[in-house]
Structure 1
Amino acid sequence: MNGTLTGDDVGKTVVDAAGKELGIVAKVDGNRAAVDPNPSVAEHVFASLGIEGEDEEDYVVTESMLESVDDEIVLQGTL
């Protein structure tokens, strides 16, 4: 099962299939999300307000990597 990414996913926690927290969604662009693995307090606040941002430490997650999208985003497999 794959999920669909939307701008509403900014700020959601991203976890692997085992439940290990991998970061938060910093930005959604089409079918990809930039995930911040070490968000600062300010980045958490911006994300909770729906303000997107992307920086050099973020990594990309695509919809084909998703297991589900709900209150958190679950990736297929573990890292």
Structure 2
Amino acid sequence: MTAPLTNDEVGKTVVDAAGKELGIVAKVDGSRAYVDPNPSLAEQALASLGWEGEDEEDYIVTEDMLESVGEEIVLRGEL
């Protein structure tokens, strides 16, 4: 099991097991991260400052879907 998600993950890139970029973390709420698949430059800048936000196109990633959390968030391959 990976470390729990925290607000420190806001702005990090989310990638699949093959390394394909899937988006950035827009918001963390408990054990769920809201991932923006098409962040604008403004959204990327706000996320890098740790300012959270979510919109209707975001998808949810839960802690049990994670392989690792570091400079980027890597999803498990067997999802």
TM-score (norm 2): 0.95
Amino acid at match of 1:33: A
Deviations 1:36-63 (A, max 9, x none): 0000000000001100000000000000
Counterpart position of 2:23: 23
Gaps of 5+ in 1: none
In the TM superposition, residue 72 of structure 1 has moved relative to its aligned partner by 0.2
Counterpart position of 2:44: 44
In 1: Cα distance, 2:16 partner to 2:32 partner: 16
Over 6 Å off, 4+ runs: none
In 1: Cα distance, 2:3 partner to 2:62 partner: 10
In 2: Cα distance, 1:78 partner to 1:17 partner: 9
TM-score (norm 1): 0.95
Identity of aligned residues (%): 77
Deviations 1:6-25 (A, max 9, x none): 00000000000000000000
In 2: Cα distance, 1:7 partner to 1:70 partner: 13
In 2: Cα distance, 1:71 partner to 1:2 partner: 14
Counterpart position of 2:63: 63
Counterpart position of 1:77: 77
Amino acid at match of 2:57: E
Q: What is the RMSD computed on CA atoms of the aligned residues?
A: 1.3
